[in-house]
Amino acid sequence: MKITKMHGAGNDFILINNFTQQLGEDVLPELARSLCSRRLSVGADGLILADKPLAEGDIRMVFYNSDGSRAEMCGNGARCLARFAYEQGLVNQEMTIETLAGPVEAKRIDDTNYWIRLPNPSLIVKTTIDFEDTEIASHYVELGNPGVPHLCVELNDLATISQAKLYKMGHYLRNHPDLPHGANVNFYQSLDRGHYLEKTFERGVEDFTMACGTGSAAVALAVQNDQPDLRHTKIHFTVPGGELFIESRWLNETVLSVDLIGPTEVVFVAELNEIPFGLKT
């Protein structure tokens, strides 16, 4: 089985061309758990298959988290898939990617940088959520329909808070009983006008990742929801794995579009010698 490992700002994935491999979806949860296991296998935040479209898209994104759970979509993963599909000759420089959260437009900017148009938010609400007897002001954002759930929490000491305390908060809030579907938890701190430090605890990975594209989009929308003067500003995110940018268009209180721009990197291409549970190469 031929695989390609890629990352987008440190958010890493294993990609498979399922046009040729033709894996059934019944084997994918176990395959994701096996291949994404760090130290014991290749290691990644998720498994992505480039598959045949079911409707009017150019390609379909089949995405599984490292724990084997199916996810609606992934922003950085979609950017990596766009490059993978283009370099595999499956699509042109502009494409439509089918995802469970809806169609995603994608475009090659140059050899490494890719743009995608994320699904518009179906929900942006202010809320409070408890942590250790304290009510934390936050925003709950869902991108797409069914939506990718995100909780956005501003922490003024994000740059200096201990990793142990941040992990405790992220793990607790990700599984909070007020969030029936769970959520990715995005902590952010303002560094300058339109520039934020961000760290995301991702469901399905159950840990912090180096970047989260939909998480950055959710934070940008949360900030712009409260600060209309930022709605026409390209929002810059510094994440542990690099830099990401979000551009959105608003009409009064309605979000018209949300775009994610950032780098992609091919880490390696490999042929697996040992295939889990007898899968054919």
Question: Distance between CA atoms of 44 and 35, rounded to whole angstroms?
Answer: 8
Q: How many CB atoms lie within 10 A of CB 190?
A: 13
pLDDT of 34 higher than 70: yes
Q: How many CB atoms lie within 10 A of CB 203?
A: 21
Q: What is the pLDDT of residue 276?
A: 57
Q: Which of 3, 19, 2, 6 is nearest to 83 (CA)?
A: 6
pTM for the whole structure: 0.89
Q: What is the pLDDT of residue 61?
A: 96
In the chain, what are the domain boundaries? 2-117+265-278, 121-261
Task: Please tell me which residue in 36, 74, 80, 152 is annotated as part of the active site.
Answer: 74
Cα torsion angle, 185, 190, 194, 197, sign: negative
Q: What is the pLDDT of residue 281?
A: 43
Which residue type does 164 have?
A
Percent of the chain residues topping a pLDDT of 90: 81
Cα–Cα–Cα angle for 153, 155, 156, rounded to 5 degrees: 150
pLDDT digits (tens, 9 = 90+) for 153-208: 999 999 999 999 999 999 999 989 888 788 999 999 999 999 999 999 998 889 99
The domain defined by 121-261 folds into: Diaminopimelate Epimerase; Chain A, domain 1 (3.10.310)
Q: Are 2-117+265-278 and 121-261 the same fold in CATH?
A: yes
Question: Which pair of tokens denotes residue 232?
Answer: 């026409």
Is the domain defined by 2-117+265-278 classed in CATH 1.20.20.10?
no
What confidence category does residue 279 fall into, taking pLDDT thresholds of 50, 70 and 90? low
Question: What rounded mean pLDDT belongs to the chain?
Answer: 92
What confidence category does residue 133 fall into, taking pLDDT thresholds of 50, 70 and 90? confident
Helix, strand, coil percent content, the chain, rounded in steps of 5: 20, 45, 35
Question: Which pair of tokens denotes residue 139?
Answer: 């925003």
44 backbone dihedrals φ, ψ, rounded to 5°: -170, 165
What confidence category does residue 60 fall into, taking pLDDT thresholds of 50, 70 and 90? very high
Percent of the chain residues topping a pLDDT of 70: 97
Task: Confirm whether 80 is a catalytic residue.
Answer: no
pLDDT digits (tens, 9 = 90+) for 205-222: 899 999 999 999 999 999
Question: Distance between CA atoms of 281 and 275, rounded to whole angstroms?
Answer: 7
Task: Please tell me which residue in 36, 80, 152, 212 is annotated as part of the active site.
Answer: 212
- Distances, alpha carbon 92 to alpha carbons 96, 107, 148, in Å: 10, 9, 27
